[in-house]
Structure 1
């Protein structure tokens, strides 16, 4: 291994491996143990935090050893870390809490603690303090929403990365409901950052974290500890009885920092209010009688431009060099993929020192557009990678997921919710008209999201913020498809309607084919609306007036979603067929290999991916000739088209052609082989969509953003 200042070599006391992670070096050390740079056989890096070796500890009950509370605290840290998620926090990749050397692995990105950054580069500029504080306040808000209090926010528990600031170390985090900090004889959180109520051993709630945030901002802006240093008792006395030393803090920041440092918890602002003030408040210009609003020139924060950013880039290069120089391990080969449980990613981090490295595999969220996720360089066959992010609270049998603009949208028990597609950060919620009808589906086009609620009410929401643009109670039953300016809707009387996305009256209404009585699936493109009915019939309607252009009978016996690409429509059924979109002229037909039907096809990069019975099959989109097939181990559900992103194909599995889902298989398109599976054995369906090198899976109330190859 190449040595570098970011990753120190392992010593004789360090284990070579913890769980699935081969340890390449040490990136930090502290009272609880060490943090290692780890890499699994898929090539994914991780920050692996390991509890220090303690003679006499037999388990995790905290009854033996030199520090009886340390193992229990480590377990609590893992539990707390897994229970809160979101930007500014890192996803847990795995843990092992019952062995001789308990460990916790989190996503890894090189970074500097705020302590090291200020010591090396000096206090941050006002604009950087604002960006830092707004980010940390947003993260605290997410921690508090999860019902937790961090209780030890301090500069060494804030890591600056090229993607922004992160809050780390949940070692003394507690549920919010009435817990005090200390027991008899134990020390409180870090003096100078612990709130007065913490110092006095009283109940500590979210306001305690806000106090600590104020102290962190004072340190970042002035380079000084607001309650000084010295003996801990002296610092604690000043915290309770004296005003903070805010020398060096810009005048424009004094108001919000002072309010955060109020002695009484009730007088401190909430985190979201702190974030709002840091983004909007500006100080008065000196020398004016009335004071004016000061306009700050736009600038990139210090972690993205300047000396600090250069240091973060150097550290990233150090880690990359260490990983590249390590001798590779050969992953075991497997001919078949077993259906394995997915590792649900909660959010946490590993911390044990000022110069540690940290996490995040996703984009930085810069505009325009959603940054594409970095594909996985390697993976372990049969082992599903951790999600990029997860969110809970979905309706178990609701609508979505659906990508729209820069968000992914899904149904909740009371309405809809949207999250940033790249980070998973909550974007908006809508509960104005109740939960959307499950059978009606969702549509997105031209910056709006369409949903149908009780009574057949069709509502259009702004995809950016969830605001209601318009709503019509006109008997909508199912959303079929949309093009640039029109949504195509099936109503309760089995009529097709062309609904302008502006909310104006329908452009045309026409009776639908008989096969739509028990369900329908559709696609719209090239001035055609192609509708597949549950009886296997497919009709193409002209989108300018609603008249029928052509008709097909696929013999499917179920509504299979048509696929359209390059002026061609692809249909499943008794034969897989390619037809001219304009007039239905046949371009090629491929009969099913045996009994049964082809499923809903998905075109991508010149190939057509489709299921038949227990096989996933690729055919040449120009000729219909089969390229390869994969046996995922059970039937692939035909009514859902495969989702292709990058060099990966995701598809739900089922015990029979229309029965309950049995997990999701991922196929490596480069090798024409199954890569891994998620879930299995459940009765609730998996719902999929994809965008920007991510595949979004909704299942059992959870939304996962999965990586691709």
Structure 2
């Protein structure tokens, strides 16, 4: 939604300036959300938060300024150096819980707690990005029908009802600490709808979370919001765990009591993890600088998620050093020490023309060629196979998925199905391609079975997916997906196998 620039203010203090893109600035609804973000963020203070220092919400290019926070984001640190443990892990748990306590006490819901929004600074963990924060007074200005947040960190109640309260942040905190301790998302990765299904119906994978933290993480990941602890309770419990670390040598104050503040304990136990980025060198002192200005020649920093959107959950680049590939974020990097890295792109937008997709041959596959289709059974596809399917990974899979999406989306236009949304995933083990759509939006008391167009829509999608799979099967001897399956999400928690075909015979695509 914008760009973050490195900057210095009149006192030569290093800052980060978040500037909204012109397209967003022209959107009055977004501008109202941004105005609200600034107002709410200025009310919250805490040792483990990044405060808003200055802002302009009314100008042609709205912006806000926060102190520059050096250090890697949690996701980058885990990706490069592995999971955290010991005092560092407890410090992240205590610090982020304390930050959420301050946020919730101010009547705000963060709504996007995730590793990309936690920076491991030299002085401790910092929680940032209030880009989609809400007050708890019911005056949300989030666009109707748009689910904000990142799959894997979205709470079950958000999927069910769209309602988000402090309990949703607690759920995300549990996922965050589980990830920091193990390097894995508690509900796995993959297509957004599959992750949502696991969040709603599966137990989290917490193997490797230390014994002291595990009960807190388990309670935080409860399916029922009322069963989760508060942020204050998590901060208290995590602080006790941090104080119990062998590295904690607590000095005694003049009154004989030991310090118990989270900030004190973090400062005593925190050591910047190996591989952390060096601090941004301080600029030379200059006088007569009376206004904040953009240091374009300095290192650039990348925008965190302002507004968020439901998309495939992948480990992203750092919030203050890199920009994800294919995003609208532009990075100003003139004179920067390091170039931005790009993460692998997922399936392109349905608006992308099919001609722009490279033709896949056995010699262009990025992954090792799979054996040709070997299934001999006609077994009913299972939801477990659907859950285990992954997003397109090879050029051939991406091309097939894009062609399918381009052909399938028009079928849903004008129908009672959400957003003309079609997701294509692949299960190499089951040698099956899944085409998923829905959930539907129907009048109260009705469902997809009452839709007179249901049969035609299902058959149209089945014919398209079967034909696409058959074409690839016959044209590419290494193409393993000899079965096509259409899955309808009656709800995010209830996917149904609507139809399937073996595609190894020329007449198998008849509907």
TM-score (norm 2): 0.51
Contact in 1 for aligned 2:32/2:141 (Cα 8 Å): no
Q: Structure 2 unaligned runs (5+)? A: 250-264, 292-301, 306-316, 322-511
Partner of 1:41: 10
Does residue 298 (structure 1) correspond to residue 258 (structure 2)? The answer is: no
Q: Structure 2 vs 1, CA of residues 53 and 248 (structure 1 numbering), >3 Å: closer, same or farther?
A: same
Q: Structure 2 vs 1, CA of residues 298 and 329 (structure 1 numbering), >3 Å: closer, same or farther?
A: closer
Does residue 114 (structure 1) correspond to residue 74 (structure 2)? The answer is: yes
Deviation at 1:158, TM superposition (A): 1.1
Give runs of aligned pairs for residues 217-232 of structure 1, distance below 5 A: 217-232=177-192
Q: Structure 2 vs 1, CA of residues 240 and 179 (structure 1 numbering), >3 Å: closer, same or farther?
A: farther
Work out the CA distance in 1 between the residues paired with 2:141 and 2:274: 36
Contact in 2 for aligned 1:159/1:165 (Cα 8 Å): yes
Aligned partner (choices 280, 284, 308) of residue 273 of structure 2: 308
Contact in 2 for aligned 1:34/1:51 (Cα 8 Å): yes
Contact in 2 for aligned 1:106/1:350 (Cα 8 Å): no
Aligned partner (choices 130, 135, 153) of residue 193 of structure 1: 153
Q: Structure 2 vs 1, CA of residues 134 and 179 (structure 1 numbering), >3 Å: closer, same or farther?
A: farther
The alignment partner of 1:50 has SS state of: strand
Aligned partner (choices 126, 134, 137) of residue 166 of structure 1: 126
Deviation at 1:151, TM superposition (A): 1.2
Partner of 1:52: 21
Q: Structure 2 vs 1, CA of residues 153 and 227 (structure 1 numbering), >3 Å: closer, same or farther?
A: same
Contact in 2 for aligned 1:126/1:221 (Cα 8 Å): no
Work out the CA distance in 1 between the residues paired with 2:127 and 2:155: 18
Partner of 1:380: none
Aligned partner (choices 302, 308, 319) of residue 281 of structure 2: 319
Aligned partner (choices 318, 331, 352) of residue 354 of structure 1: 318
Partner of 1:130: 90
Per-residue CA deviations over 1:409-439 (Å, capped at 9, x if unaligned) read: xxxxxxxxxxxxxxxxxxxxxxxxxxxxxxx
Q: Structure 2 vs 1, CA of residues 329 and 102 (structure 1 numbering), >3 Å: closer, same or farther?
A: farther
Contact in 2 for aligned 1:179/1:203 (Cα 8 Å): no
Contact in 1 for aligned 2:80/2:275 (Cα 8 Å): no
Partner of 1:276: 236
TM-score (norm 1): 0.37
Deviation at 1:73, TM superposition (A): 3.0
Aligned partner (choices 90, 93, 99) of residue 139 of structure 1: 99
Contact in 2 for aligned 1:138/1:272 (Cα 8 Å): yes
Work out the CA distance in 2 between the residues paired with 1:209 and 1:103: 26
The alignment partner of 1:200 has SS state of: helix
Does residue 261 (structure 1) correspond to residue 221 (structure 2)? The answer is: yes
Deviation at 1:113, TM superposition (A): 1.1
Contact in 2 for aligned 1:188/1:198 (Cα 8 Å): no
Work out the CA distance in 1 between the residues paired with 2:147 and 2:70: 31
The alignment partner of 2:17 has SS state of: strand
Aligned partner (choices 171, 177, 184) of residue 211 of structure 1: 171
Q: Which has the higher strand share?
A: 1
Deviation at 1:34, TM superposition (A): 1.1
Deviation at 1:356, TM superposition (A): 1.2
Work out the CA distance in 2 between the residues paired with 1:179 and 1:97: 19
Work out the CA distance in 1 between the residues paired with 2:167 and 2:177: 15
Contact in 1 for aligned 2:98/2:232 (Cα 8 Å): yes
Q: Structure 2 vs 1, CA of residues 88 and 295 (structure 1 numbering), >3 Å: closer, same or farther?
A: closer
Work out the CA distance in 1 between the residues paired with 2:141 and 2:168: 11
Partner of 1:364: none
Q: Structure 2 vs 1, CA of residues 184 and 351 (structure 1 numbering), >3 Å: closer, same or farther?
A: closer
Contact in 1 for aligned 2:93/2:238 (Cα 8 Å): yes
Partner of 2:448: none
Q: Structure 2 vs 1, CA of residues 137 and 269 (structure 1 numbering), >3 Å: closer, same or farther?
A: same
The alignment partner of 2:10 has SS state of: coil
Partner of 2:111: 151
Partner of 1:92: 52
Contact in 1 for aligned 2:17/2:66 (Cα 8 Å): yes
Deviation at 1:118, TM superposition (A): 1.0
Deviation at 1:149, TM superposition (A): 1.0
Contact in 2 for aligned 1:35/1:48 (Cα 8 Å): yes
Q: Which has the higher helix share?
A: 2
Work out the CA distance in 2 between the residues paired with 1:41 and 1:273: 40
Work out the CA distance in 2 between the residues paired with 1:281 and 1:45: 34
Contact in 2 for aligned 1:160/1:303 (Cα 8 Å): no
Deviation at 1:281, TM superposition (A): 5.4
Q: Structure 1 unaligned runs (5+)? A: 1-31, 64-68, 283-293, 334-348, 358-709
Work out the CA distance in 2 between the residues paired with 1:295 and 1:166: 21
Contact in 1 for aligned 2:3/2:20 (Cα 8 Å): yes
Contact in 2 for aligned 1:303/1:309 (Cα 8 Å): no
The alignment partner of 1:106 has SS state of: strand
The alignment partner of 2:196 has SS state of: helix
